Chain A
């Protein structure tokens, strides 16, 4: 690997504080059916 062009910019990025080894899981969305489900009165 090697670059033939000159550098255009130098930046400093701080060390990632929390490095997850696995990409975060998407938050499950509530479905319409769940939202429409009638609430049951406690027995």
Chain B
């Protein structure tokens, strides 16, 4: 089974002396280690909603990502959601990642146990390109990954693994499933039971 390919974005803070030149997850604020594999870790601490609900707690024996939790290393199946996010915030950069281990697949993306960056893509806007050129050079050197044009990112990433994007269910099939469910043996028995009970 090939490693999974995904697309995501990172924040790189040019003003923070500690994190400058490092890729940082925008939500969990995890710093991605250069030249190493990032391992998922559940950060639901006691008192948080998910932990209180008993869905997932930080535990040595548990593996992140847990399907019922929200933990894991996030990546989209496609580049479109990644590029949308890049337009919204400065110093947010997109790229491709290689994922393996336990992978929880969602229709729009995946949550992975292990990941490492494969490549970054050059910002589309010439103004942003100019402003971030030195910073991006620093980041790509630190992680030993290439800086590619957005149009080349998918072709490059595909050399390393495969997409696990699920096939969308056609709408007609969804309708059929609903009819089949309504006419299922269990539903008929339940309805008959209700009718007899009256």
Contacts and interface: CB of A to CB of B under 8 A. Distances in A.
Residue among A4, A13, A20, A21 with max Cβ neighbours from chain B (10 Å):
A13
A8 B109 contact: no
B87 interface: no
The secondary structure that dominates the A interface is loop
A35 interface: no
Contact of B101 (A7, A13, A20, A23): A13
Nearest to B112: A13
Contacts of B166: 8-9
Interface range, B side:
35 or more
Contacts of B108: 3-5
A12 B164 CA distance: 12
Nearest to B116: A19
Contact of B106 (A6, A13, A24): A6
A11 interface: yes
Interface stretch (B1-9, B43-51, B190-198): B1-9
Interface residues of A, number: 22
Interface in B108-122: 108-109, 111, 114, 116
A6 B99 CA distance: 19
A7 B1 contact: no
B163 interface: no
A9 B104 CA distance: 6
Residue among A2, A5, A11, A12 with max Cβ neighbours from chain B (10 Å):
A11
Contacts of B2: 13
Contacts of A2: 27, 70, 74
